[in-house]
């Protein structure tokens, strides 16, 4: 993995996907206890430490528990938290899955001045800051429409996309579109999987067992 000492591009605005039911986890993923703080705040901190500034947090099925546990969040309002500008939105069509959540966040962010965007699911642990910046640089320098990290053959997040692709995404019907299918329509040179060594990449946090495995790895790394 290449480490950039002088990153040339600011991080794109970020859509955080928090609209799912979390049925297998039995609790909203973003409210899982991560060593004394909600998991959502850890995910946001990784973006902040990397230098990110703007977040569209999209809630859905479990909006009320998030708003109760994190009362600083305000629907359709932007608040400053840990130097991040966080706008909390509600996905009106959460039953259509993550794609509709991405559409909700991008529809808001496209009203701004961003030239590229990113999204991060709560079941995908955010990587270290060098990964964020490498992806952002490659998206621009390679003139790609999508870049994302991979490790040992497993996809990770964040996914970064061009403005052109973001505009295409919001134009599509949410009820029969999936991001994994959509990305296969891109020419290979416009959709780049970037190999990384960050151990957060490749985890899928969808069950209590997967969550515990991740906690165990994190605890082991901190002990060393």
Give per-residue pLDDT as tens, 196-218: 999 999 899 999 999 999 999 99
Place of tokens 């060393």: 224
Interstrand relation of 37-38 and 116-121 (parallel, antiparallel or unpaired): unpaired
Convert the pLDDT of each residue in 44-62 to its tens digit: 999 999 999 999 999 999 9
The predicted structure's pLDDT at residue 137: 96
- pLDDT of residue 120 exceeding 90, the answer is yes
Is residue 30 within 8 Å of residue 122, measured between CB atoms?
yes
Give me the count of residues in the chain: 224
Confidence of residue 181 (pLDDT cuts 50, 70, 90): confident
- pLDDT of residue 5 exceeding 50, the answer is no
Cα–Cα distances in angstroms (integers) from residue 16 to residues 141, 193, 195, in the given order: 25, 20, 22
Is residue 25 within 8 Å of residue 208, measured between CB atoms?
yes
Is residue 68 within 8 Å of residue 88, measured between CB atoms?
no
Domain spans in the chain, listed from the N-terminal domain onward = 14-223
Confidence of residue 142 (pLDDT cuts 50, 70, 90): very high
Confidence of residue 9 (pLDDT cuts 50, 70, 90): low
Cα–Cα distances in angstroms (integers) from residue 53 to residues 15, 83, 103, 202, 209, in the given order: 12, 7, 20, 25, 33
Spatial distance between the Cα atoms of 133 and 157, rounded to a whole number of angstroms: 13
Spatial distance between the Cα atoms of 135 and 140, rounded to a whole number of angstroms: 9
Q: From the DSSP assignment, how many helices (H) and strands (E) are in the chain?
A: 7, 11
- pLDDT of residue 3 exceeding 60, the answer is no
DSSP label at residue 174: G
Fold entry, domain 14-223: Spore Coat Polysaccharide Biosynthesis Protein SpsA; Chain A (3.90.550)
Is residue 158 within 8 Å of residue 119, measured between CB atoms?
yes
Confidence of residue 220 (pLDDT cuts 50, 70, 90): confident
DSSP label at residue 112: S
Is residue 130 within 8 Å of residue 200, measured between CB atoms?
no
Spatial distance between the Cα atoms of 104 and 142, rounded to a whole number of angstroms: 27
Confidence of residue 6 (pLDDT cuts 50, 70, 90): very low
Confidence of residue 98 (pLDDT cuts 50, 70, 90): very high
The predicted structure's pLDDT at residue 221: 82
The predicted structure's pLDDT at residue 96: 94
* Mean pLDDT on 137-152: 96
Confidence of residue 224 (pLDDT cuts 50, 70, 90): low
- The answer to whether the Cα torsion of 18, 24, 26, 31 is positive or negative is negative
* Cβ neighbour number for residue 112 with a 10 Å cutoff: 11
The predicted structure's pLDDT at residue 29: 97
* Mean pLDDT on 169-177: 90
Average pLDDT over all residues of the chain: 93
The predicted structure's pLDDT at residue 4: 37
The predicted structure's pLDDT at residue 176: 79
Place of tokens 């019907």: 173
* Cβ neighbour number for residue 172 with a 10 Å cutoff: 12
Is residue 22 within 8 Å of residue 28, measured between CB atoms?
yes
């Amino acid at each position: 993995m290449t480490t950039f000492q002088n990153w040339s591009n600011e991080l794109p605005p970020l859509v955080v996907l928090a609209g799912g039911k979390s049925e297998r986890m039995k609790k909203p993923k973003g409210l899982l206890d991560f060593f004394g703080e909600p998991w959502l705040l850890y995910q946001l901190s990784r973006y902040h430490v990397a230098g990110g500034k703007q977040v569209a947090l999209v809630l859905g099925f479990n909006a009320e528990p998030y708003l109760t546990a994190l009362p600083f969040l305000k629907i359709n309002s932007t608040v400053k938290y840990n130097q991040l500008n966080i706008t909390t939105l509600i996905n009106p069509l959460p039953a259509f899955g993550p794609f509709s959540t991405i559409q909700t966040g991008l529809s808001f962010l496209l009203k701004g001045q961003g030239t590229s965007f990113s999204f991060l699911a709560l079941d995908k642990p955010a990587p270290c800051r060098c990964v964020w910046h490498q992806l952002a640089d490659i998206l621009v320098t390679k003139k790609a429409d999508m870049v994302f990290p991979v490790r040992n053959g497993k996809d990770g997040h964040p996914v970064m996309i061009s403005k052109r692709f973001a505009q295409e995404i919001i134009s599509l019907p949410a009820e029969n579109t999936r991001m994994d299918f959509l990305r296969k329509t891109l020419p290979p040179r416009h959709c780049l999987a970037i190999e990384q060594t960050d151990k957060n990449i490749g985890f899928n946090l969808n069950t209590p067992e997967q969550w515990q495995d991740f906690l165990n790895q994190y605890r082991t790394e901190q002990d060393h």
